[in-house]
Amino acid sequence: MPQAPPTTDPRARLTELARPPMRADARRNYEALLDAADEIFSRRGPDAPLDEIARRAGVGNATLYRHFPSRRDLLVAICIGDVEALCALGNRLQRHPGAGEALTKWLRAYIKHVSSKRGLPAAFTTGRREDSEFVSACHAAINATGSALLKKAQDADEIRDDVNIVELIALVNAIAIATESQGLREANRLLGLVIGGIGR
Amino acid sequence: MPQAPPTTDPRARLTELARPPMRADARRNYEALLDAADEIFSRRGPDAPLDEIARRAGVGNATLYRHFPSRRDLLVAICIGDVEALCALGNRLQRHPGAGEALTKWLRAYIKHVSSKRGLPAAFTTGRREDSEFVSACHAAINATGSALLKKAQDADEIRDDVNIVELIALVNAIAIATESQGLREANRLLGLVIGGIGR
DNA sequence: ACCTGAACACCGTTCAAGT
DNA sequence: ACCTGAACACCGTTCAAGT
């Protein structure tokens, strides 16, 4: 007899993974690495040497590698707060009177968060099989949140039926990538075009 | 008195840069490097070691570096034929009866070409200041071609006036990046949404 | 259980010597 | 004028030894 299926909400699963139980010294190192990564990435870009981040955090480089097996894990970890904020916002927007407007508000918030850190949109582009469980859990939480908003908007006949959340988020990520050097205003312009295209 | 300004057509400039005069042995090496890069990149992806490409081409690694100062130069060089084909297609489409349809046909051809080689969409994302003259010339030729089609479609009132070619191409590149692992069909679906959004 | 830093492997880049 | 391959520098990854 197999285990009970994981009926857990993706957002709850994410919170679990984001805060694994750790010995006190390990936790200190973990936090120091996040702080260091946040600073170094924002100053030197997403390709900054990982050794520099470890040095800045005052830990050995192997410690970094243990906590964050891939660069992408680290990139995603430093914005876990943004992901959780987006999920929370999505939940609140469920009760928004206009379902179509709720979706577009959330998409604008999404692009704002994801554009706030260099290299993040690329890290968020979904569908890599090699992604760690942690990164996959982020995608799953975002998808679950966006999916609920999209479905409501489609049920209200405000958004075309032949749009799905995976491609919609892929497109928004694409916009963030394309406008990375130009800023949020430009990203919002392009998002406006897309929103115009999916309405009905 | 300054030199006469470079009134040259961007497409002519590109053809110049793509076929620089070379000694016979240099040209042989150049071609061998292109062949090797094409094969290695398509088999091992756009991050394949450059040394392997040089070895496969039967030349020293420094020779590769001389001909193609950056990885991006090499990536772009192997698809110079695609760029020229797109420019030629754009010219032909100028005489297409429906100006809006001509633009969308060209955009679909663009995404097809650019999706055909892994890593190419990223190499085509414009606006890097560090780009070589060769890569810039490619962008300029594409922009000139797309710009003419867009302007005609806007003059015919088939496309909204507040869209410019730079952002439109950036968006199409981004779509190609976001759907790289999913294939051309998915890219075309997303392009459809954008085209719906820019119409009027 | 977790950490450390040195060792290793890999790859891009440069350069002195060659044709 | 162009080519070569070795030397160098850099960085990600692993591992034996330590707490």
Same domain for A59 and A153, yes or no, is no
Same domain for A108 and A56, yes or no, is no
Q: Does B1 fall in a domain? A: no
Query: In which band, very low, low, confident or very high, does the pLDDT at A7 lie, cut at 50, 70 and 90?
Result: low
Q: Does B3 fall in a domain? A: no
Query: In which band, very low, low, confident or very high, does the pLDDT at A15 lie, cut at 50, 70 and 90?
Result: confident
Give chain C positions with protein CB within 7 A: 1-7, 10-16
Q: Does A34 fall in a domain? A: yes
* The last residue of a domain, from among B70, B94, B113: B70
Q: Residue A112 is encoded by which pair of tokens?
A: 């704002």
Whole-number distance in Å between A82 CA and C2 C1'? 29
Q: Does B2 fall in a domain? A: no
Q: Does B107 fall in a domain? A: yes
3-state DSSP call for residue A136?
helix
Range with lowest mean pLDDT among A107-116, A129-138, B51-60, B83-92: A129-138
Question: Which CATH number characterizes residue B23's domain?
Answer: 1.10.10
Determine the pLDDT at residue B4.
Answer: 47
Determine the pLDDT at residue A122.
Answer: 77
pTM equals 0.86
Q: Does A1 fall in a domain? A: no
- From chain A, the residues in CB contact with B127 under 8 A are 181-182
Instruction: Give CA–CA dist B170/B120, Å, rounded.
Output: 13
Span A185-193, average pLDDT: 90
Is B3 a residue whose pLDDT tops 90?
no
Instruction: Give CA–CA dist A99/A44, Å, rounded.
Output: 40
Query: In which band, very low, low, confident or very high, does the pLDDT at A68 lie, cut at 50, 70 and 90?
Result: very high
Q: Does A3 fall in a domain? A: no
Is B19 a residue whose pLDDT tops 90?
no
* The last residue of a domain, from among A70, A88, A110: A70
Instruction: Give CA–CA dist A76/A46, Å, rounded.
Output: 11
Is A1 a residue whose pLDDT tops 80?
no
Any residues with CB less than 8 A from the CB of A113 and at least 6 apart, and which? A79, A82, A83, A85, A86
Determine the pLDDT at residue B76.
Answer: 93
Determine the pLDDT at residue A4.
Answer: 47
* The last residue of a domain, from among A70, A89, A108: A70
Is A125 a residue whose pLDDT tops 90?
no
- Cβ–Cβ below 8 Å for B193 and A175: no
Is B73 a residue whose pLDDT tops 90?
yes
Determine the pLDDT at residue A126.
Answer: 64
Mean pLDDT of chain B: 90
Determine the pLDDT at residue B199.
Answer: 85
Same domain for B108 and B154, yes or no, is yes
Mean pLDDT of chain A: 90
Q: Which of residues 46-65 of B touch strand D (CB under 7 A)?
A: 58-63
Say how many domains are in chain B.
2
Is A80 a residue whose pLDDT tops 90?
yes
Determine the pLDDT at residue A3.
Answer: 46
Q: Residue B181 is encoded by which pair of tokens?
A: 């692992």
CA distance A175 to chain B (A): 6
CB proximity B22–strand D (7 Å threshold): yes
Query: In which band, very low, low, confident or very high, does the pLDDT at B31 lie, cut at 50, 70 and 90?
Result: very high
Ordered DSSP codes for chain B: -PPPP----HHHHHHHHHS----HHHHHHHHHHHHHHHHHHHHH-TT--HHHHHHHHTS-HHHHHHH-SSHHHHHHHTTHHHHHHHHHHHHHHTT-S-HHHHHHHHHHHHHHHHTSSTTHHHHH----TT--HHHHHHHHHHHHHHHHHHHHHHHTTSB-TT--HHHHHHHHHHHHHHTTTT-HHHHHHHHHHHHHHHB-
Determine the pLDDT at residue B7.
Answer: 55
Instruction: Give CA–CA dist B166/B124, Å, rounded.
Output: 12
Q: What is the pLDDT of residues B113-150, one digit of tens each?
A: 999 888 888 777 765 667 888 999 999 999 999 999 99
Same domain for A96 and A40, yes or no, is no
Any residues with CB less than 8 A from the CB of B196 and at least 6 apart, and which? A196, A197, A198
Question: Which CATH number characterizes residue B95's domain?
Answer: 1.10.357.10
Range of the domain at A186: 80-198
Q: Does B103 fall in a domain? A: yes
* Better-scored residue on pLDDT, A52 or A133: A52
Same domain for B63 and B98, yes or no, is no
Is B34 a residue whose pLDDT tops 60?
yes
